[in-house]
Structure 1
Amino acid sequence: MEQYGLNDIVEMKKEHPCHKSKLWKIIRMGADIKIKCQGCGSSIMFDRAEFERKLKRVVQKAEKED
């Protein structure tokens, strides 16, 4: 499984119903993972196992902060 982190841009297997973007930004990580649609700005929360099952690929890694 690919590694992902906070503020990474990811692509899910199914796109959001808004059809504006297929990309999502990870905005919260813990036992649950919250992602935000890059098209309309709505957010969805998944438990970690469900998120990993629906994740297609990591598009862009977030820049490291020092």
Structure 2
Amino acid sequence: MINKFYIGDIVKMRKVHPCGSDEWEVIRVGADIKIKCLGCSRIVMIPRSKFQKGVKKIIKSNAPEEEINE
């Protein structure tokens, strides 16, 4: 399970959104995660635990340089 998410990350979710897209951009991180659908721009806020279970992979990471090199 992936634990670290950053604002600006593009993630692929397990379930497809009704618009047909499965790619989302992370807008806010915390106890809840706010994500925006890249297909229709719908914004959804879901609990971190449900989000972590639903993420298939991180397509584009926006992690700081220090953490990428570790």
| TM-score where L is the length of structure 1 | 0.85
CA distance in 2, matches of 1:28, 1:4: 9
Query: Larger helix proportion, structure 1 or 2?
Result: 2
| TM-score where L is the length of structure 2 | 0.81
- Hey, which bits of structure 1, 4+ residues long, moved more than 6 A? none
- CA shift for structure 1 position 64: 4.3
For these two proteins, the number of residue pairs brought into alignment is: 64
CA distance in 1, matches of 2:52, 2:27: 15
Structure 1 stretches lacking a partner, 5+ long = none
Instruction: From the CA coordinates, give the structure whose radius of gyration is larger.
Output: 2
CA distance in 2, matches of 1:23, 1:14: 10
Q: Which position in structure 2 is the counterpart of 1:46? A: 46
Structure 2 stretches lacking a partner, 5+ long = 66-70
Q: Which position in structure 2 is the counterpart of 1:29? A: 29
